[in-house]
Structure 1
Amino acid sequence: MRDLGVRVGHWTGEHTGCTVLVFERATVASGEVRGGAPASREFELLDPTRANAGIDAVLLTGGSAFGLAAADGVMRWLAEHGRGVPTPGGLVPIVPTLGLYDLDGSGNTPESEQGYEACDAAMAPFEPALDGPVGAGRGATVGQWRGVTLPSGLRSATVTAGRLQVHVLAAVNAFGEPGPIDRGLLRPEGFASGSFGRNTTIGVVVTNARLDKVACALTAQGAHDGLAKAISPVHTRMDGDAFVAAATGEVEASVDVVRALAVEAVAEAVGTP
């Protein structure tokens, strides 16, 4: 994503981690939540009716709601580097943060220092791995809907139409799993595992299109449509599925085309076993 002015960095622990996307400049963005049990911070600012005009970074983190504390470190790093909204009291970086549930009982969750380390890692001279059990995907799993726990992780994809690019990075921690649902396993009384709120697929769509916040919101909706193409069952009450969509503004493009590409990019990324 560096050709779009976006740097990605991870902090990866033993069972959890976090991933930050740092934008070269304040970037227009919006988002949408469709799952029943989200963990988030500063997400309300993404509403097109809110005054905020741009974000400085997005943080994807493990640790459930505890992991949202890693955003403190991201904010501190950004402020030290002169980023944020100017206020009488100093710069205030804008960092929408999405958390997923990967708690293992050890009490180890991403904290402020880990968010700061992820930002340092984003400045490394090489592009980090964007797929596998790294960063926010370290403790991600899928399959609990049928009573199993399968390893998952970060997933990424890029789709294009001429000069238009749409990139997606998602931490796939779904109650469901990639592929069509096996209807023979469904029972009226409920799923094989009904642990409330222990999952969530979270992600970021970045495009080089020139979009406003409303168009970014529509693109985030497309990301969820792509998730619905890839994961079964999807958007359950056990999930907190959420996507942020950000537009860096280099290419004039129809929002309908951008949204269509977002659907395909998420389906391609998340649908990879």
Structure 2
Amino acid sequence: MTISKNTTLTAIPGFRVGHWTDPVGLTGCTVILCPPEGAVASASFLGPSPGTREGVLLSPDKKVERIHALLLTGGSAFGLGAAQGVVKVLEERGIGHETPWARVPIVPAAVIYDLGVGDPKARPDAAAGEHAARTASGQPVLRGRIGAGTGATVGKYLGGGVPGGLGSVFLERHGVSVGAVAVVNAIGDVLDEQGRVLAGPGTGPGAVSFTPGDVESTTLVAVVTEHALTKADCKRFADAAQCALARVIHPSHTFLDGDSAFMLSSAAKPAADPLLLGALVQEAVCAAVRDAVRMANPSAE
């Protein structure tokens, strides 16, 4: 029997991923569980409309360094409530930031706007987040129209759009490795490795005018590594992940986007060459975005 190699984020030891999916309402959520001791983390939020929970806490100047899980979810601001279910599971397991009276799980979250795709009343809630957390595993990440990518769409500048989905990759070079997950809900087209349109109309904006509010879009990316990073390092790599979105989505970071990028480090291995690690972060983001639309659109090529 041939055993397939894990080429997704969970190939990074200590990190597990779980989904909750509503195939009727067309929404869902995805949870990345960190090792029990947590992961050093920071984030980069670009665009005027990011929907987040605990986002400010991830700034390098804030006190708490480690998070214990990350939630990526549909349902717009309503979906942030799913984080409470993740907190419940972690509390049961005795995982969290140590305080004098309790361990407090730190669970940042970010949302996409998918209310116009399926049922606008269908939203991930605390029970959905709890399910995703309880079913999280180190098995290869399930990808496509699943979890937070269920209602994601791309290429929406002419209206409509095509499925965006959720993608995940693992990259390793010269002993340095990263894993990434992307939830691709972009206004722009997604481009392939040669710069050709992989998903979307491919004409560019202009043929049809729209005003703010006509389209709400956000791409979420999370990159993890074992290599030791400070919180400030994580912020720089999260910024690099945002730059990668501009290589694979056209146009990217529009005034209707709320793109969010997270960088997590378990610090289980010594620090790596920052130039190589930065290159892998960007390559992983591009690859995860392309993987999302390919898995959500099997005939995209």
Per the shorter chain, which TM-score range? Answer: over 0.9
User: Unaligned regions of 5+ residues in structure 2, if any?
Assistant: 1-9, 294-301
Structure 1 partner of 2:297: none
User: Is structure 2 residue 176 aligned with structure 1 residue 164?
Assistant: yes
Equivalent of residue 63 in structure 1, options 46, 50, 75: 75
Equivalent of residue 276 in structure 2, options 238, 254, 257: 257
Deviation readout 1:126-175 (Å, 9 max, x if unpaired): 4441x200100000001111333111100112222222111110100011
Q: How far does residue 186 in structure 1 lie from its aligned partner after superposition?
A: 3.9
Q: How far does residue 3 in structure 1 lie from its aligned partner after superposition?
A: 4.1
User: Is structure 2 residue 284 aligned with structure 1 residue 270?
Assistant: no
User: Is structure 2 residue 264 aligned with structure 1 residue 246?
Assistant: yes
Relative to structure 1, the CA distance from residue 205 to residue 184 in structure 2 (aligned partners, 3 Å threshold; closer, same or farther) is closer
Equivalent of residue 98 in structure 2, options 83, 86, 92: 86
Equivalent of residue 206 in structure 1, options 215, 219, 224: 224
Query: Hey, which of these two has a bigger chunk of strand by percent?
Result: 1
Structure 2 partner of 1:109: 123
Aligned residues: CA RMSD? 2.0
Deviation readout 1:12-42 (Å, 9 max, x if unpaired): 1121000000011211011101122110000
Give the aligned length.
Answer: 269
Structure 2 partner of 1:153: 165
What amino acid is the match of 1:225? C
User: Is structure 2 residue 239 aligned with structure 1 residue 230?
Assistant: no
What's the TM-score, normalizing by structure 2? Answer: 0.84
For the 8 Å contact 1:231–1:271, the answer to whether it is kept is: no
Structure 1 partner of 2:4: none
User: Is structure 2 residue 51 aligned with structure 1 residue 51?
Assistant: no
Deviation readout 1:35-55 (Å, 9 max, x if unpaired): 221100001111111111200
Structure 2 partner of 1:13: 22
What amino acid is the match of 2:32? L
Relative to structure 1, the CA distance from residue 146 to residue 107 in structure 2 (aligned partners, 3 Å threshold; closer, same or farther) is same
What amino acid is the match of 2:159? G
For the 8 Å contact 2:141–2:168, the answer to whether it is kept is: no
Q: How far does residue 184 in structure 1 lie from its aligned partner after superposition?
A: 5.8
For the 8 Å contact 1:11–1:19, the answer to whether it is kept is: yes
User: Is structure 2 residue 33 aligned with structure 1 residue 22?
Assistant: yes
What's the TM-score, normalizing by structure 1? Answer: 0.92
Among all aligned residue pairs of Structure 1 and Structure 2, give the percentage whose two residues are the same amino acid: 38
Q: How far does residue 251 in structure 1 lie from its aligned partner after superposition?
A: 3.5
Q: How far does residue 222 in structure 1 lie from its aligned partner after superposition?
A: 1.2
Relative to structure 1, the CA distance from residue 103 to residue 260 in structure 2 (aligned partners, 3 Å threshold; closer, same or farther) is same
Relative to structure 1, the CA distance from residue 183 to residue 247 in structure 2 (aligned partners, 3 Å threshold; closer, same or farther) is same
For the 8 Å contact 2:32–2:70, the answer to whether it is kept is: yes
For the 8 Å contact 1:211–1:255, the answer to whether it is kept is: no
Residues of 1 paired with 2:159 and 2:241: CA distance? 27
For the 8 Å contact 2:52–2:80, the answer to whether it is kept is: yes
For the 8 Å contact 1:145–1:194, the answer to whether it is kept is: no
For the 8 Å contact 2:189–2:202, the answer to whether it is kept is: no
Equivalent of residue 119 in structure 1, options 130, 133, 140: 133
